[in-house]
Structure 1
């Protein structure tokens, strides 16, 4: 389909693609700990979708030819946020499974209780449950 100049282009998808040295290990991490299921799987790329709400993410071999030279490392300063209904329970399970914790479970005044873990490819995963924000942050929410 060709769009004329100025005609709006429809966004049909949006999801992170995370570079990793071990696609299989990273895919297993998201399947095992967060319940994602496989949509497509090759040795260099795995597309995952969560059955509850259809959220997607994908894993890509950092050395794959489709990645421009010098860009295959795990992104620094980027987090993948996964919002769950019970971060305390999940944090305990992640810890028991030996998942590396980068920031211990804590509550934030801006309305989150969260733990930050590291996936096998080095990506930071911020696991969050929303909590009531402190009064000074309450007005920032469009509720």
Structure 2
């Protein structure tokens, strides 16, 4: 299993203001689903940051997203380790397969793969 990207998820009610501020640093909007907006650096498109008010389908907002090349293998490894699954593995309507897990620091990690 390989990590493709890691994205901090900032819980925020100021998405528009954040887009403007981070635009000053060279970030551009690459995704906006209304409840989550992701900005990326054009010179390095895996350098990203997301802003969301609340998650559309999960009971909590994740602190970080980790995209992997095999989300099913990641899910199996995490379950086998005994880590707390916060949101079960599922396919989302916006084209990702994901689950949430709590890390040893208490942070909620959104582990995903694109379908």
Query: Normalized against structure 1, the TM-score is what?
Result: 0.38
Structure with more relative contact order (C-alpha pairs < 8 Å, separation 6 or more): 2
If you compute each CA radius of gyration, which structure gives the higher value, 1 or 2?
A: 1
